Structure 1
């Protein structure tokens, strides 16, 4: 009996201590002035348009997908809907989705620049497609899902674009990946050799178009993005699950089978369809992909224990590199010779630059999986530097200096949502 009483006392103490810790954390969240300031600034920036940031003329689908929910806070749903429809009007006959669109009058043809895509369905805009990427189709399906969930406008899925409804065109986009980006060898979708989620391949001085020198591979980011898109599509268009649920399960199984390094508890950067383009003495698997891992967690591929290990590895990488946050793209970076694009030097741009755009997504997933304290702690460097540098910068150098657009809406979108999720947690505690 005494042992039972002691056990009960210990349990009560433990529960009480945990409740006090939760209350303390909730108070810190609610009284963090930078959180309020970041959300206010995010709303101000998103009010000014839909292009990725002040350094870009285009509306990019991979960016729009990460701030469309924030845009819904300040824009009429019809405006958001129109942006989505432009992507569908410029959809290829094979189902492919463009990367971004721009007003026709601003699409100046430059030597070595974009080859613009036009359609009779779209009178005002033209598009372009960075063909080394394999996330445009998934990004658009995800963006439609977020729009529908945020606005409740399920009727949008039945809107006609040419001969097909939006719902049919979403499925056409997913089918494009099976028809034109599918590896029978691995049972996964493939793309060019880029750095984690990046849009610059290892060959060519610019690197956004597939060339004769492209090395194809499967990676975690592209396949995780497709898994999320399939989940989204099947939720809002339930009848599609008859076909796509089996495909979804196959991709999820093959992703962990082919890309998860069980021994090292990490994702293999690239598994090549043929041979690796890199020298045999270069161990690419030493590189840890932060962004792709965050998206894999969003796709539900990792267990809670694996998420914990992943976070620990990210924090270790930040300390080893000297970076400012877990938005660090990857670590260690690729050597300078690994990419022809001069901007892809070690710790430059997508080769080890620190991107809140993906770090913020990792914060969201930590919150969703119960790592609240860890999420709060890892979010602070990201929000603090927004206030300090007076902007949502595209990326940061390894010594935490801002680079690129100072109005990068994708960063604003993911930070706003991360803070909102923490607020929801704090409200639940109180």
Structure 2
């Protein structure tokens, strides 16, 4: 009888020591996060920039896909009434079919070449919709959820804009997607073909508007964003509120269809596109080899993957970044599309292989959510160090030269870095 007791004691000691070591590791990591002055610096600089609502100081427009990513930081420095007013503007100029615009701008500055729309509910303002995107509706709902969570102001949900409440208008935006941006073949959201989360079509010309050359496709980014928005809507609506549709069932269906049609299990990555009316690329071009970072990050945030799959996705992002001297996990796509396939955007430029902290920074929360905190901290630091060294928040960076590109005061990057630090600090406070 002694041997089983000895074996039990040995196993117990091993488990106890292992558990103790894990606690010590977590404590040390939490201490490092709490004491890292770089995180204080980046949050302080971000807050200084988030006094406005446009995408950056070189832009006149307020774009909802950008605002959604820095609204948390905005609420740290802006009166909640001002933030609320900005959110309501997008509902006041909502389309009759439920669609949400891309951006709003002072009508006196509406000279960007877009097809502008106006509304009697929003005098003095103009708006435009980038029609190759399919994320404006989802971005607005997600932004409202962040606002409600941070302010506790649920009254915005019952605010009437015209004859409808904000709750009704959010559902109308979902209904627009199902009517105008839905693939019955795959049971998934569709949109124009772009690079990952991008807003430009491959063909030469005005790439932000659907035209006779548009190739419709299904991708991971749009569908992940929709599921996040549905979950946000269901989380903030009152229990007694009767929805227009069983949105929870739809979210489950989308997740199942994503796993069926877009997730490539053997490669442990997402397929870039499924085409509905032909591909814009040559028959010899193997697009499935391209890694989409932004869409993959959003899929992680939407809860589409297991922890093991998230680890594999993260390893692939790190491997892609290691290919270029100045890249981080924000490296949009790897390898970039060659010019012959995507003439509207050269390789290693903008969304075709540029490095965007705006999306790389979102992976930090995803990693923290899956318990991969050590990885999250290690992968955030290069982005933080770069922003501090450059003394600004830039839209994107050239991975070959390290040169910053676009607006030097890009609020999207500031907001995402602020949120990334916040997610790490919240974990550290508990550990």
Query: TM-score of the superposition, structure 2-length normalised?
Result: 0.96
Counterpart residue number, 2:66: 63
1:263-316 deviation per Cα after TM superposition (whole angstroms, max 9, x unaligned): 111100000002212111100000000000000011110111100100011111
1:104-140 deviation per Cα after TM superposition (whole angstroms, max 9, x unaligned): 11112x6xx2111111111021100110000001111
Counterpart residue number, 1:148: 148
Q: Helix, strand or coil: the match of 1:333? A: coil
Q: Give the conservation status (yes or no) of the 8 Å contact 1:233–1:240.
A: no
How far apart in 2 are the matches of 1:320 and 1:340?
23
1:9-408 equivalences in 2 (<5 Å): 9-47=13-51, 49-108=52-111, 113-237=113-237, 238=239, 239-240=242-243, 243-341=246-344, 344-399=345-400, 400-408=402-410
How far apart in 2 are the matches of 1:75 and 1:124?
22
Deviation at 1:317, TM superposition (A): 0.7
CA-based RMSD of the aligned residues comes to: 1.2
Once superposed, which parts of structure 1, at least 4 consecutive aligned residues long, lie more than 6 Å away? Answer: none
How far apart in 1 are the matches of 2:229 and 2:27?
36
How far apart in 2 are the matches of 1:101 and 1:275?
33
Q: Give the conservation status (yes or no) of the 8 Å contact 2:264–2:270.
A: yes
Deviation at 1:426, TM superposition (A): 1.4
Q: Give the conservation status (yes or no) of the 8 Å contact 2:171–2:244.
A: no
How far apart in 2 are the matches of 1:38 and 1:10?
41
Q: Give the conservation status (yes or no) of the 8 Å contact 1:117–1:128.
A: yes
Query: TM-score of the superposition, structure 1-length normalised?
Result: 0.96
Aligned equivalent of 1:8, options 5, 12, 20 = 12
Deviation at 1:242, TM superposition (A): 5.3
Deviation at 1:206, TM superposition (A): 3.3
Once the two structures are overlaid, the 10-residue window that deviates more, 246-255 or 53-62, is: 246-255
1:235-284 deviation per Cα after TM superposition (whole angstroms, max 9, x unaligned): 11243385212221111111111111111111000000022121111000
1:79-99 deviation per Cα after TM superposition (whole angstroms, max 9, x unaligned): 011111110111000100000
Deviation at 1:337, TM superposition (A): 2.0
Q: Give the conservation status (yes or no) of the 8 Å contact 2:297–2:366.
A: yes
Q: Give the conservation status (yes or no) of the 8 Å contact 1:234–1:240.
A: no
How far apart in 1 are the matches of 2:100 and 2:317?
32
Once the two structures are overlaid, the 10-residue window that deviates more, 202-211 or 143-152, is: 202-211
Gaps of 5+ in 1: none
Q: Give the conservation status (yes or no) of the 8 Å contact 2:364–2:380.
A: yes
How far apart in 2 are the matches of 1:123 and 1:241?
30
Q: Helix, strand or coil: the match of 1:338? A: coil
How far apart in 2 are the matches of 1:40 and 1:233?
31
Deviation at 1:203, TM superposition (A): 1.5
How far apart in 1 are the matches of 2:15 and 2:309?
27
Once the two structures are overlaid, the 10-residue window that deviates more, 24-33 or 297-306, is: 24-33
Q: Helix, strand or coil: the match of 2:204? A: coil
Q: Give the conservation status (yes or no) of the 8 Å contact 2:330–2:357.
A: yes
How many corresponding residue pairs? 423
